[in-house]
Amino acid sequence: MVKHISSGSIFEEQIGYSRAVVDDHYVHVAGTTGYDYSTMQLAKSAYDQAVQCLKNIEHALQEAGSSLDKVVRATYILPDGKDFESCWPALKAAFAKAKPAATMIQVQLMNPEMKIEIEVTALK
């Protein structure tokens, strides 16, 4: 059985994807940026965007019956690797219990204002 979860982001509709997909064992959360989906605003700093990414991810995980404490894998995608260290406090706070296996990738994102995108897999 597969369940699809939407955040209500216009991107999900325009591109054709789900914020998260839940299977029998895992919650797979799509790459999530720092947009506040209620306002479609994007903070200026990488840290503030990371905080909002984590809020968006946490919401999807809760809807799926999971939590940040059950994340087993995280991928951090940043266009400028120098911004990563400023995000560490937000990541450490969010994943203090889970301590997921993690990777940071430096690559251009869709919008030049995006400073970080986070993708996670969590236990159901």
Residues in the chain, total: 124
For residues 90 and 16, which has the higher predicted lDDT (pLDDT)? Answer: 90
Q: pLDDT at position 95, please?
A: 98
Q: Are strands 35-36 and 26-33 parallel, antiparallel or unpaired?
A: unpaired
CATH number of the domain that residue 112 is part of: 3.30.1330.40
Nearest Cα residue to 7 out of 30, 26, 23, 25: 30
What is the total count of domains within the chain? 1
Q: Rounded to whole angstroms, how far apart are CA atoms 74 and 32?
A: 11
Among left, alpha and beta (phi > 0; psi -120 to 50; other), residue 121 is beta
Q: pTM (2 decimals)?
A: 0.92
Query: pLDDT category, 83, cuts 50, 70, 90?
Result: very high
Q: pLDDT at position 121, please?
A: 98
Q: Quote the DSSP letter at residue 26.
A: E
Q: Rounded to whole angstroms, how far apart are CA atoms 84 and 54?
A: 14
Range of the domain at 65: 3-123
Q: pLDDT at position 21, please?
A: 93
- Report pLDDT digits (tens) over 56-71: 999 999 999 999 999 9
